[in-house]
Amino acid sequence: MSTTMETTAKQEQAAANERLARTSRIQRFFNQATVRIAVLVIAFLWTLPTAGLFISSFRTEDAISSSGWWTVFATPFDFTQWTIENYVDVITTDGMGAAFINSLLVTIPATVIPITIAAFAAYAFAWMKFPGRDLLFAIVVGLLVVPLHMALIPMLRVFTALELNGTLLGIWLAHTGFGLPLAIYLLHGYIAALPSEMMESAAIDGASPMRTFIQLVLPLSVPAVASFAIFQFLWVWNDLLVALVFFVRDPSTQVVTSRLSEIVGSRGQDWEVLTAGAFVTIILPLVVFFALQRYFVRGLMAGSVKG
């Protein structure tokens, strides 16, 4: 009798555990489904304006003025409403092609220079001992809260005295100075979280600080470097204020943001040209972001978890 009761109790317990596990799986499914649906909705709403901009940039003037961009899905093969003349016009006639080249000449060095300097500085702050290290790092962190606008007039006076205003070197130095505090802080958090045993092993093997940095620290810091590269590239590429103050003096030195602002002022009613020009300005940042997105989250979490 007791054996039968024990068997029945075990069966009931097993059935209860099974029901509990089934309920838990259902709850997890609905929780995950809710999160996924919310993410999909947010992603859809976030990309909808970009999709509209892209579609409108290929539509003719008559099509844009007579109907919304979403109407193309009703007659997608009506080729009378599609054209590439908008891009030809904005790149050649409106000078967006030359502005695109100028933006590359400004953005690439203004991204590489601060990353290079910040990587060395972050390694020194994290693993090298020298007088005033903590004070200097505190000053770097304090510079993060200094508004950019406070430095524009003093730097403009200095650049004018040194005849750097309106030159590529001048705007490279300006963007480097404005981007260095964040770069050093971000890279320091990642490099400081590297295992100390690894650094000690490199020192025991006779590696110099420079060799340790180049062959050991730098390859391991690629996520943090790529994350800041995204931030810096997007900031410099989309910048208008710094470019107007330190670089743009005539139409030949305009970057895409300043050129687009002039197109808006001079051709504000030509929506087909404005949409094409706007998409020219965002195509490269989109490519950079999607190419480096696998490092983005890892770089944002740099230094938050040790080991």
Query: What is the tens place of the pLDDT at every residue in 179-228?
Result: 999 899 989 988 888 888 888 888 888 888 888 888 888 888 888 888 88
Number of structural domains in the chain? 2
Predicted local confidence at residue 201, as pLDDT: 86
Q: Nearest Cα to 278, choosing from 295, 300, 296, 263?
A: 263
Q: Classify residue 220: in a domain, yes or no.
A: yes
Shared domain check, 151 and 65? no
User: What's the token pair of residue 80?
Assistant: 């009378």
Residue 137 pLDDT > 50: yes
In this predicted model, which residue has the larger pLDDT, 303 or 138?
138
Chosen domain end from 81, 116, 136 = 81
Mean pLDDT of 94-115: 92
Long-range contacts of residues 94-101, Cβ cutoff 8 Å, at least 24 apart = 94/259, 94/263, 94/267, 94/273, 94/277, 95/251, 95/254, 95/259, 96/256, 96/259, 96/260, 96/263, 96/277, 96/280, 98/252, 98/254, 99/254, 99/255, 99/256, 99/258, 99/259, 99/260, 100/256, 100/280
Shared domain check, 51 and 98? no
Q: Classify residue 121: in a domain, yes or no.
A: yes
Predicted local confidence at residue 307, as pLDDT: 41
Query: What is the tens place of the pLDDT at every residue in 243-259?
Result: 988 888 777 888 999 88
Shared domain check, 69 and 26? yes
Residue 302 pLDDT > 60: no
Residue 75 pLDDT > 70: yes
Chosen domain end from 58, 81, 104 = 81
Shared domain check, 264 and 208? yes
Q: Classify residue 53: in a domain, yes or no.
A: yes
Shared domain check, 262 and 240? yes
Q: Classify residue 307: in a domain, yes or no.
A: no
Chosen domain end from 20, 50, 81 = 81
**C-beta of residue 119 within 8 angstroms of C-beta of residue 221:** yes
Mean pLDDT of 273-280: 87
Residue 106 pLDDT > 90: yes
Residue 80 pLDDT > 90: no
Contacts of 174 (CB under 8 A, 6+ apart): 155, 159, 242, 245, 246
Residue 5 pLDDT > 60: no
Shared domain check, 219 and 152? yes
Q: Classify residue 265: in a domain, yes or no.
A: yes
Q: Kindly report the backbone phi and psi dihedral angles of residue 84, in degrees, each rounded to the nearest multiple of 5, phi listed first.
A: -110, 5
Q: Nearest Cα to 179, choosing from 134, 102, 247, 121?
A: 121
User: Domain range spanning residue 272?
Assistant: 89-300
In this predicted model, which residue has the larger pLDDT, 61 or 236?
236
Amino acid at the residue 249:
R
Predicted local confidence at residue 305, as pLDDT: 46
